[in-house]
Structure 1
């Protein structure tokens, strides 16, 4: 019996490539998709190891590797270190935002990254709507088509408000968007071609993971330390292959809470310039001016973009944000936005800008940042001496579990104690193994007392001995 015959006997899935036309790897993916649809390959089924399948089919390992990667890009399979490549479960919704999966009425939700609930938001929104209703020009603007970049007056208003927050931006370099996630997707769709590579921290915002996957981009994770993305690992990755864009959150990474020093930001810019790489800074995790470092677009204005959103400041439901970009990139971005939605809704922009510039928003934000500082202090107090990283003004904290504890099981245990958490897996880029850690959002509870109670329940679970697995019979 030769090598191919032995390999064919050992393969749990063996597609027929004899009648296939075109590139072998593409034919293999199509056969895989067909067998998944027919139920031949069931959710969770493990595919043959790449070398084994290559021997069985008489093709190169590179052909199988390329097919598996394409299948993963299309969401057919999922590769995980230590468990091989498996058919993705039909109920697998990764990455899972949890934005709409709220905790039950009797549970304390620490999973959502949202503004702190307060009656002030409803009151201020109502007031802004009333003020807009008395402004004929604003109403006329809201009823009219606007240029792709958005209403110029609204861009000017937004820039004036951002300047009070320590961000110097020009209306000419801004594109108004329907929130930060829209800005993420817009930048990737307009500037990166399917199959090209983008990079981010190995643990990053699930919205970026979803956007890259939807657009057929190769998304690579970069190792980090306490200051975020490591320049040496980014340099090594750029030497191995062409990286078109780096997505990053310098103020504090979601989910790890790591913040970049000025030296680290400059080092990242130097790598980007050496390899002609675009930078996409996500500023949605907004912090006060005194807590903010130098934005990437000030360090590298020719290649850095910046995303702003009011989702964490005023309300996620407003869906209002902006994308700052260099002049040479604006034509491509405008064309992409025009094809998507023509322009962001002028009515939403009018209401949001009215709210921001009225002075009401400043009082709300001063209260919220002060409240978050107190809540982060509670995290440090109640979860000491466990390993927690967070920004003092951050919406969340990152808790690394003690040795022997598994995040998935910990999240389930917390749920039985009336606390909703989110584990690391939705934040993992590609086939990066998920660390045993959970994200704790400090903003969903309406009061500090409710947050403290949730943290105490988490602390009790941490202090308890992990459950002993039942013996196998």
Structure 2
């Protein structure tokens, strides 16, 4: 019995690709996709080792390697160190992530990162709408087809507002988007090519995880410490993988609240230049100037993109934001946006820009930060003695659970006490193991009294022993 015959006997999956239909590695991937769809290969099933399959098909190992990589890029399989290449679990295609409340009944929602309710918002909006109704020229401009980069007057208004708050961005470097999530998706879809990967903190914003998965991109986790992403781990990863873009939340990581020092930012910029990485900084969780470090687009303007949105400071329903990018990337991003939707809706932009330019927004924003600070202090007072990370401007905190608590049990028991939390799983990139921690959002309760009630319930729960699970016989 020769090598091929022995290999074919050992291969539990033995494709018969159409060798005349084009590149052999693509034919193998097409066969793999069909076999997964038909149930020949089930979720979690391991593919044959590359050398074994190469021998069985009498092709080079390089052909099999290329096929497995293309299958991973398409989201059909996932490769794990020590576990080989396996068919991706179906449930892993869509992370347990939501942007609307799942709290039921009288449960106090601490699961969402949303602005604190304030009746002044609707009052100011009514005033703005009345004012805009008389501005025929502004309305006519908003109702017309817009350039791909966005309404010029709105970009100039936003540029002036951001510049006055320590974030100078020329209007020509801004591309208007329908919120931060749209900017995430547009950037990945436009600037990351097949076969390239994106990387981020090992624990990161679920919307970025969802966007990368939806686009079939390889998303790599970078180990973290108390400042977030570790430069030494990033350097090793860049030496091993072909990374195109690095997603960053340097002011306060979601969910952990970790904040990068200036030295950490400069170290990451040096790595990005050495390995030619694009840097995508998420600034949606707006931070006051006195609490803010130097943004990456000021440190490395030639390769940095920055996301801004009014969702956290005014209202998530406006769906208005902007993406700052180097001048050489604006045409490519504009073309990508044009292919998606021609241009963003200009009416929400007219409302948002009038709100910001009028000065009325500042009243709400100032009140909001005072309230956030007070709620952060309340949280740390209630959870004194426990391991809690947060940022003074953060809408949330990261609670490391004491032993023997496990996150899944704590979330379930909190729900029984009338408090809705979110566990760690939606924030984990790839096969990153979930830590025993939960995110606590302090902004959804309408007032501090209700927040205190929820925090006291959690404190009582932490003092108790977790439920004992029966051991299988």
Given the two structures, how large is their TM-score scaled by the length of structure 2?
0.90
The separation in 1 between residues aligned to 2:111 and 2:49, in whole angstroms, is 37
Aligned to 1:287: 287
Q: How does 1:242-257 map to 2 (within 5 A)?
A: 242-257=242-257
Q: After the TM superposition, which of the residue ranges 250-259 and 92-101 deviates more from structure 2?
A: 92-101
Change (3 A) 1:112 1:63: farther
Q: Hey, what does 2:385 align to over in structure 1?
A: 385
Higher mean C-alpha deviation, range 167-176 or range 210-219: 210-219
**Alpha-carbon distance in structure 1 between the residues aligned to 2:365 and 2:55:** 62
Q: Which residue of 1 aligns with 2:151?
A: 151
Cα drift, residue 366 of structure 1: 0.9
Secondary structure of the residue that 2:268 maps to in structure 1?
A: helix
Alignment of 1:320-335 (within 5 A): 320-335=320-335
Kindly report the root-mean-square deviation, in angstroms, between the aligned alpha carbons of the 2 structures: 2.8
Larger mean Cα displacement after TM superposition, 268-277 or 256-265: 268-277
Using a 3 Å threshold, how does the CA distance of structure 1 residues 35 and 417 change in structure 2: closer, same or farther? farther
1:418-443: CA deviations, max 9, x gaps? 22211222112222222222111111
Shift of 1:410: 2.3
Cα pair distance change 1:224/1:176, threshold 3 Å: same
Q: 1:127 maps to which residue?
A: 127
**In structure 1, what is the equivalent of residue 444 of structure 2?**
444
Deviation at 1:86, TM superposition (A): 5.9
Q: CA offset at residue 119 of structure 1?
A: 1.7
Q: CA deviation at 1:384?
A: 2.4
Aligned partners of 2:424 and 2:434 also within 8 Å: yes
* 1:212-242 deviation line (CA, Å, top 9, x unaligned): 2233332221111111111222222222333
Deviation at 1:57, TM superposition (A): 4.9
Alpha-carbon deviation of 1:89?
5.2
Deviation at 1:456, TM superposition (A): 2.0
Q: What pairs with 1:73-472 in structure 2 (closer than 5 Å)?
A: 73-77=73-77, 87-88=87-88, 90=90, 94-472=94-472
Aligned match of 2:16 in 3, 15, 18?
18
In structure 2, relative to structure 1, the CA distance for the partners of 1:26 and 1:468 (3 Å cut) is farther
Aligned-pair CA distance for 1:307: 0.6
Structure 1 pair 81–415 and aligned structure 2 pair: CA distance change class (3 A) = farther
> Structure 1 length normalisation: TM-score?
0.90
Determine if contact 1:248/1:280 at 8 Å carries over to the other structure: yes
Greater mean deviation of Cα atoms: 363-372 or 49-58: 49-58
User: What are structure 1's unaligned runs of at least 5 residues?
Assistant: none
| CA distance 1:446–1:77, shift in 2 (3 Å) | farther
Q: Higher mean Cα deviation, 315-324 or 223-232?
A: 223-232
Q: Distance in 2 between matches of 1:56 and 1:410?
A: 50
Q: Given that residues 80 and 433 in structure 1 are in contact (C-alpha distance below 8 angstroms), is that contact kept between their aligned partners in structure 2? A: no
Unaligned runs of 5+ in 2: none
Matched residues in 2 for 1:6 and 1:451: separation? 66
- CA 1:3/1:432 → structure 2, altered by over 3 Å: closer, same or farther? farther
